Structure 1
Amino acid sequence: MSLQHFSTKDRILHAAEDLFAQQGFASTSLRQVTSRADVNIAAVNYHFGSKDNLINEVFRRRMDEMSAQRIAALQQAIDTAPGKLEPILAAFVEPALAMAQDRHGGAAFIRVIARAYAESNAGLRKFLSDQYGHVPRTFAKAIHACVPELSKEELYRRLDFLSGALTYAMADFGLIKRPAGVSDATHRQRAAKALIRFAVAGFHADAS
């Protein structure tokens, strides 16, 4: 679908997401964003106020929904399978992989996430910590109930390992590619199941 079919605000967000994915945050100018979105600079100022706010909103429009889906799935896992680690990890992994497969920019956003890891942007990191830091902390608490023998440091280290593996899987640039004749949904389900099994073993591994 052409960008012209979206609202002005959405056109700006789509254009910014694509450019941030391709060039990074520091190398992308607002002039490039306005040119790609076919709007004037006043429209960016009106909707976002600054480049930093635009960057934050690129994350917010996708991560708000994914975070809500994760928390809802986590609560369901706790309610229906208390004490079971696998459903908790599925609640963390599956919404993220589903977002990565979104045909309306999901792949570009994964590259934007990679840029956030690679670039030194203290403002963005603070924004992400303030807005979404509660999600891994909530999962850490639920996971700890299943593996109480892990120290807080070890628990958070293993959750970091899972997050890194998940980001890699979301980017789909590893050794395993979608086989011919296999749908995106099936490929995603297989990747999720494999990663969850791997993570369960990792969290249960002897901490010593």
Structure 2
Amino acid sequence: LYLLLVLAVLCSAVYAGGDSKEKSKEESKEKSKESDEKSNESSSKEVTDAPDSTTIAAAAEDRCAGQPDGTVLASLTTCSNFVTCQGEVETVETPCVPSGTIFDASRGVCDYEPNVLCTIDEGVTEAATTEAATIAPEPSPDQLKGLCKGVIIDMIPHPGNCGKFVICVLGKPSIQSCVKNQVFYSDIKVCAFGDPKKC
């Protein structure tokens, strides 16, 4: 009888051990599946989080986001135009004047090509158009209005002519001209002798 009791205990221990081995195998399989699912989720998140061309285009359109009104930026399509930020939105592109000048983003003014590094590849068609273009009209006060929005009082360079500057008073622009053979120096806010073609 004692022998049967020992045999029963041994059998139940072996049976229970077999169950625990199967359970641990099943648990390890489940853990493996879960970790595979998590790695698949994280890799799919990585793919989802990667910026697509739409996101990049939206970033280009949001160049004025967080910029103060009146910030002048280079055009994304041609070196001979610029845009002004107004209400964190880009305004209509404005051509540089006089004809033959291109926008210098580092100084925020239009200047002659030898003085400016343009990084937009415009191709032959754009260059031919620029050469054949007639003299562009001066930007209107409405086009310049964005330059002064939010400005209490300041003197800023005219974006299309080195011999002119804009006085901003309570957000309203007033275009002023330097005397003959003088250009506006924005760093010291005065007109002084200089070459308007090389300002």
Q: Please report the TM-score for the alignment, with normalisation by the length of structure 1.
A: 0.25
The TM-score normalised by the length of structure 2 is 0.25
Higher helix share: 1
Higher relative contact order (CA 8 A, sep 6+): 1
Q: Structure 1 or 2: larger strand share?
A: 2
- Highest Rg: 1 or 2? 2
